Amino acid sequence: MDIAFVRDKFPSLKKGYTFMDNAGGSQILGGSINYISEYFLNYNVQLGASYQVSADAGQVLKNATEKISEFLNTPNSQEVIIGPSSTMLLRILSICISHNWQAGDEVIITNTDHEANVSCWKDLEKKGIKIKVWNVNPESFELDLNELSNLISNKTRLVAVTHCSNVMGTINPIKEIARITHDAGALICVDGVAFAPHRRVDVQELDVDFYVFSWYKVYGPHQAVMYGKLPLLVGMPGINHNFFKAEDVPYKFQPGNYNFELTYSLKAIPEYMVDFYDHHFSDNKFSRNEKFEASFEIIATYEAQLAQELLSYLKSVKEIKIIGSSSADSTLRVPTISFIHPKFKSSEIVELIDKKKYRNSIWRFLCQTAH
């Protein structure tokens, strides 16, 4: 992977500061920054009017949403719902989907999920929805599929699960989880926030019903996206003004509208992944879809090298305990690595590393400490 090429795409890195908080959020692409200005300079008008600039604004936003749809491989661009954060989109989903649920219906959540995919479901207990918790195996720190099969019943309406643990970096076998969930007649809602910055998200390949992630972790601004299968989205009530109809997807899930300039800026992300491919390979025989795949594969390989370097170091310090898998295998984990040291508080380790902010060192990559 050509690091100079990558760095050049992120203007904030020119200051030389080494950011190590990628597990929490990424730097933004220069392309995204430029598109935000471009939107304000050329299209900052009311949408839906007959004059040319308004029509152009509507068209460029439609085009940006189609680019996102292509990036996630959604069958239909109507299935792309934009919102301010993953937390908000998951909350909107929980409110809308549960309208048609009855007391006694069940939702399965996990104890390895971020609160964003937990609280919104737990709050449904107030209307009689039963919440079951799928716990990670305390030895392996993995979600055991047999345990899911034990929990799931003919009352299960939804399984809410993360694609990747934001604390341990473990990748969950979502395709397999989706199959078990669908066999039981239930739906699956996946939090992809910790996964999407590192690997390609292909919602059709995964066969998930709902998939949510945040762009500020995937080289973009503070916005999030939710994919939902169209018939499911049409079949549930929305949360927008009353005059929106069932088929007004995605609008009925975007109360107060989505952020136009930031949505417009998102098209820089798929563009970057295609540029990334074109820079690394001279042939041009791949489709854009294949280029997304190939680019993420290069990233995964590079990340595995970095993860291996850090894990080898951590394993060499006998006091350190790694929380979760100690394998660098890119099919099993992303390079978010948690560890504890008996003598240092996690915050102390961070402060020590802070002092090396401009230096190349083994620490220069995704690293998250655990208490």
Ligand X SMILES: Cc1ncc(COP(=O)(O)O)c(C=O)c1O
The C-alpha atoms of residue 239 and residue 263 are separated, in whole angstroms, by: 20
DSSP 8-state symbol, 214? E
CB 32, min distance to ligand X, A:
16
Applying CB under 6 A, which of residues 22, 112, 162, 259 lies at the interface with ligand X?
162
Of 156 and 165, which has the nearer Cβ to ligand X?
Answer: 165
Which of these segments, 79-87, 177-185, 321-329, 350-358, binds ligand X (CB under 6 A)? 79-87
Applying CB under 6 A, which of residues 26, 65, 87, 263 lies at the interface with ligand X?
87
Closest-CA residue to 117 (of 60, 69, 174): 174
Question: What residues are paired with 162 via a beta bridge?
Answer: 191
- Contact call for residue 86 and ligand X (CB under 6 A): yes
Applying CB under 6 A, which of residues 20, 177, 224, 273 lies at the interface with ligand X?
224
Do 259 and 82 form a contact (C-beta atoms < 8 A)? Answer: yes
- Contact call for residue 119 and ligand X (CB under 6 A): no
Which of these segments, 35-43, 72-80, 153-161, 190-198, binds ligand X (CB under 6 A)? 190-198
- Contact call for residue 170 and ligand X (CB under 6 A): no
Instruction: Give the CA dihedral 129, 170, 2, 224, nearest 10 degrees.
Output: 10
Which of these segments, 7-15, 123-131, 191-199, 317-325, binds ligand X (CB under 6 A)? 191-199
Of 97 and 224, which has the nearer Cβ to ligand X?
Answer: 224
CB 201, min distance to ligand X, A:
13
The C-alpha atoms of residue 193 and residue 114 are separated, in whole angstroms, by: 9
Is the bond leading into 11 cis (omega within 30 degrees of zero)? Answer: no
Do 304 and 328 form a contact (C-beta atoms < 8 A)? Answer: yes
Which of these segments, 82-90, 142-150, 288-296, 354-362, binds ligand X (CB under 6 A)? 82-90
- Contact call for residue 259 and ligand X (CB under 6 A): no
Closest-CA residue to 273 (of 39, 31, 37, 78): 31
Phi, psi of 107 (to 5 degrees): -125, 135
Dump the DSSP string for 217-269: GTTS-S-EEEEE-HHHHHHS--SS-TT--TT-TTGGGSTT---HHHHHHTTHH
The C-alpha atoms of residue 67 and residue 267 are separated, in whole angstroms, by: 6
CB 294, min distance to ligand X, A:
26
Residues in the chain: 371
**Binding residues with ligand X: total (CB under 6 A):** 13
- Contact call for residue 166 and ligand X (CB under 6 A): yes
Binding mask 24-43 for ligand X (x = CB under 6 A): x-------------------
The C-alpha atoms of residue 50 and residue 45 are separated, in whole angstroms, by: 11
- Contact call for residue 368 and ligand X (CB under 6 A): no
Applying CB under 6 A, which of residues 116, 206, 269, 310 lies at the interface with ligand X?
116
Applying CB under 6 A, which of residues 20, 29, 97, 193 lies at the interface with ligand X?
193
Which of these segments, 84-92, 171-179, 225-233, 292-300, binds ligand X (CB under 6 A)? 84-92
Block residue for tokens 């008008």: 45
Closest-CA residue to 271 (of 79, 56, 38): 38
CB 53, min distance to ligand X, A:
31
- Contact call for residue 85 and ligand X (CB under 6 A): yes
Of 124 and 194, which has the nearer Cβ to ligand X?
Answer: 194
3-state secondary structure 157-199: EEEEEECECCCCCEECCHHHHHHHHHHCCCEEEEECCCCCCCC
Q: 318 to 357, contacts with ligand X by CB under 6 A? A: none
Applying CB under 6 A, which of residues 72, 118, 194, 269 lies at the interface with ligand X?
194
Give the binding site for ligand X (CB under 6 A): 24, 85-87, 114, 116, 162, 166, 191, 193-194, 214, 224
